[in-house]
Amino acid sequence: MKTKKFAVILAGCGLYDGSEIHEATLALYFISKHGAEYDIFAPDIMQHHVVNHITGEEMNEKRKVLNEAARIARGNIKPLKQFDAAQYDGLVLPGGYGAAKNLCTYAFDGINCNVNEEVADAIRKMKNHNKPIGALCIAPVILAKVLGNIVVTIGNDPATAENIKKFGARHKETGNGEIAVDEKNKIVTTPCYMLDATIAQIGDGIDALIKAMLELM
């Protein structure tokens, strides 16, 4: 049986201005643990800003999303423009504020946000190929914005859930370690740090997400 292969899109490195490192690392871990392979991608763009992760204050620096994401990827990363949906069986988007600041503008524009065109194109092409897509934490809002009529979860935050509905999607309330599976559209999501969660609970949710995606392949 051919080994399944995931593409993982990162948004930088670090909770406040990039990909959430626990979520990204655990996604890679569970992909590997369940016998699949992965390639890591990121858009080759400037990140919105750089945040001091001790103080939470913005820093007078400029960094690139691709270069920062390469820290998590241990250098083994590709520009998202090279993504070919035909080569992959599933797509995963970890969360972190970078997903809402660099992959799209949801953190600033809410329901009027724009999604990076390379990110949107990757999502649409996987959907057109009828291949599963997984999103963690805040990243499901990107899927809702791009695809519209799907079922996703971000946990139980009322304001974000309402915005998801305004995108034309449906929200399923979930708790720690739980997932929402839209079997018809092959969408799997889990709330991760959108809830007050431990790293073990994050792991439970991502483990369940990757297993559900493999079942949909």
- Catalytically annotated residues: 137
Buried (b) or exposed (e) across 86-112, using 16+ Cβ within 10 A? eebbbbbbbbbbbbbbbbbbbbeeeee
Environment class of residue 82 by beta-carbon count within 10 Å: exposed (0-12), middle (13-18) or buried (19+)? exposed
Contact between residue 188 and residue 216 where contact means Cβ atoms under 8 Å apart = yes
Dihedral sign from CA coordinates of 105, 164, 192, 81: negative
